[in-house]
Copies of this chain bind each other. A is one copy, B any other.
């Protein structure tokens, strides 16, 4: 910061060029002088000025992460996955989270110009294809998470919501359930729509001849509670309820408890996400696990590839599979999991291949 390459050069009695060469290990310097330069640099605690270097190198060794204002496990695990893998590639992470709406996001995107070599964007309402078209320089390597963009300049990586829901419905059907109800997420949410589509498709294929009840929710616990009550109020009670995320499932659970309906005895219940809470409610919630950190890791790998070999995996679409996590709330396998110390030993079913890409 305060000590520059010039200081090192003067102290080591060489030119700045030699210092640069020595410290970057590009050769062209006597081992002796290199040694001397390194010593001086260490003594002076010289650290190259990142901005100055990237100005000429055209490389910042930094990637950006742009995501909406969301709390909880998803955010932290995703960042964790990205950061961990970024370090592997020698990259650093500039985070811009907590933005609400397109304006915030656009400002954040602008601020990242010239500070990042690439960017991972978690789609959200307002931050969609049209938004990116106008706010994203096309030369900037980009990985889109959770996007419904078919193809474009950016690589796309999605959770396989469809396959996840499908596989869970299959599990429920295999347990003998036919009247399976579904609690949807918000209509403007990409994951929510895919999950609902997966559910409908699975029911049509696996439990034909029925028309499943579908009630609306918004991913909140409160909406799940309401949905649970609504499902109980009907003429015939569902045999199983599939909530589009875990928080709504927890809401349902509460509604069922209050109504004196036993889970899974009277009604089976499953969710989606496998948030930490899922293991700790009573009974432990069967759900579809999203390996979030792995999602982040894969996104980072994709991005690193895009950076190192421009155009390599651009316009490709990838999918990360989910796991079916069977605990007690859906019955069938229950009792088996009454293990000591809350250890986890659910049956785990890979619903999709690890990372399926298609360009």
Residues of A within 8 A of B (CB): 1-2, 45, 47-52, 54-55, 60-62, 69, 71-73, 75-77, 79-80, 83-84, 87, 92-99, 104, 108, 110-115, 137, 139-140, 221-222, 225, 250-251, 254-255, 258, 276-277, 280-282, 340-342
Complex CA–CA separation, A282 to B221 (angstroms): 17
Q: Are B84 and A76 in contact (CB under 8 A)?
A: no
- Central interface residue in A62, A93, A98, by most chain B CB within 10 Å: A98
Q: Report Cα–Cα, A69/B84, bound state, in Å.
A: 9
Number of copies of chain A assembled together? 2
Considering the chains assembled together, what is the distance between the CA atoms of A254 and B342 in angstroms? 7
- Report yes or no: B47 in contact with A110, Cβ–Cβ below 8 A: yes
Please give 11 more A-B residue pairs, beta carbons under 8 A apart, in addition to A1-B139, A93-B96: A47-B113, A48-B114, A49-B114, A51-B52, A51-B55, A73-B73, A73-B76, A79-B97, A93-B94, A93-B97, A251-B341
Give every chain B residue within 8 A of A72 (Cβ-Cβ): 73, 76, 276
Q: Could you show 20 A-B contacts with beta carbons less than 8 Å apart?
A: A1-B114, A2-B137, A2-B139, A45-B137, A47-B137, A50-B51, A50-B113, A51-B55, A61-B111, A72-B76, A72-B276, A75-B76, A76-B79, A79-B79, A92-B108, A93-B96, A115-B115, A250-B280, A251-B342, A280-B280
Residues of the B chain whose Cβ atoms lie less than 8 Å from the Cβ of A222: 341
- Determine whether the beta carbon of A80 is less than 8 Å from that of B75: yes
Q: How far is the CA of A79 from the CA of B139 in the complex (A)?
A: 29
Report the minimal beta-carbon distance from A92 to chain B, rounded to whole angstroms.
6
Q: How many angstroms from the CA of A342 to the CA of B140 in the assembled complex?
A: 46
Q: How far is the CB of A139 from chain B (nearest CB, A)?
A: 6
Evaluate whether A71 and B80 lie within 8 angstroms (CB atoms) in the complex, with A47-B110, A50-B113, A94-B93 already known.
yes
Is there an interface contact between A1 and B92, defined as CB atoms closer than 8 Å? no
Q: Please, which residue of chain B has its CB at the minimum distance from the CB of A140?
A: B1
Residues of B within 8 A of A79 (CB): 75-76, 79, 95, 97
Q: How far is the CA of A262 from the CA of B103 in the complex (A)?
A: 53
What are the 10 closest A-B residue pairs judged by CB atoms, nearest first?
Answer: A76-B76, A49-B114, A47-B113, A50-B114, A51-B51, A50-B115, A75-B76, A95-B95, A84-B98, A83-B98
